[in-house]
Chains A and B, each alone.
Chain A
Amino acid sequence: AQKITQTQPGMFVQEKEAVTLDCTYDTSDPSYGLFWYKQPSSGEMIFLIYQGSYDQQNATEGRYSLNFQKARKSANLVISASQLGDSAMYFCAMREYNYGQNFVFGPGTRLSVLP
């Protein structure tokens, strides 16, 4: 069974600083994808970044990077140069490509960026 753990219910970061949001996962499927989504207070789910299980390099998308440590089953999101607009809920998610194609989310981390 899949499982996503996000151990930080809430995080604070000073504007312009970097922050790391933790995510660990559990799967027996060798082929899977890891995703991060942002959900502002308005409610829409915004895709941020993707990492495939066979990707050799860590994914980066602008100010977002994914610290992928496969042996530890860890996929932490790093946001550099935080902005006030980064305040939101952040969800880590995983999709297994062999075992049923399901797509499951973690409980989320609420990030607050302080001016």
Chain B
Amino acid sequence: GAGVSQSPRYKVAKRGQDVALRCDPISGHVSLFWYQQALGQGPEFLTYFQNEAQLDKSGLPSDRFFAERPEGSVSTLKIQRTQQEDSAVYLCASSRQGSTGELFFGEGSRLTVL
């Protein structure tokens, strides 16, 4: 499709398990963002890529969170040793170079840690 694609849409993990969330941005979009959204709250910034370069990872809550975008296209957000407080919707968004910077969002990956 032409939009941002995220998988899996739903993930249930036992506490302590590792999870990997995938984001396939719109083709040609240079910028890619990851956000964490708790129920009823605004998206909280996690990290930002421009092509393959991770320019800002200041929002990653702990060293258990790791993101990569090795070829400047698909990105993976990895959470190691999941905790219950990691339960949230993880949103991926991308934007074009040279535009106003409007973000196009995927449908999100809902992570539930039991």
Binding site for B on A (CB under 8 A): 33, 35, 43-45, 47, 50, 52, 89, 91, 93, 95, 97, 100-108, 110
Report the bound CA distance from A93 to B91 in whole Å: 15
> Which residues of chain B are within 8 angstroms of A52 by Cβ–Cβ distance?
100
A selection of 26 A-B contacts at a CB cut-off of 8 Å is: A33-B100, A43-B89, A43-B108, A45-B43, A45-B93, A47-B103, A47-B104, A50-B100, A50-B102, A52-B100, A89-B40, A91-B43, A95-B100, A97-B101, A101-B50, A101-B55, A101-B56, A101-B101, A102-B45, A102-B48, A102-B56, A103-B45, A105-B43, A105-B45, A107-B41, A108-B40
Let me know if B42 and A108 touch, CB within 8 A.
Answer: yes
For B85-114 the 0/1 string (1 means CB < 8 A from A) is 000010101010000111111011000000
Consensus secondary structure, chain A interface: strand
Consensus secondary structure, chain B interface: strand
Given A33-B100, A45-B103, A47-B102: 16 more A-B contacts, CB < 8 Å: A44-B107, A45-B91, A45-B93, A50-B102, A89-B40, A93-B103, A100-B56, A102-B45, A102-B56, A103-B45, A103-B101, A103-B103, A104-B45, A105-B42, A105-B44, A107-B42
> Which residues of chain B are within 8 angstroms of A101 by Cβ–Cβ distance?
31, 48, 50, 55-56, 101
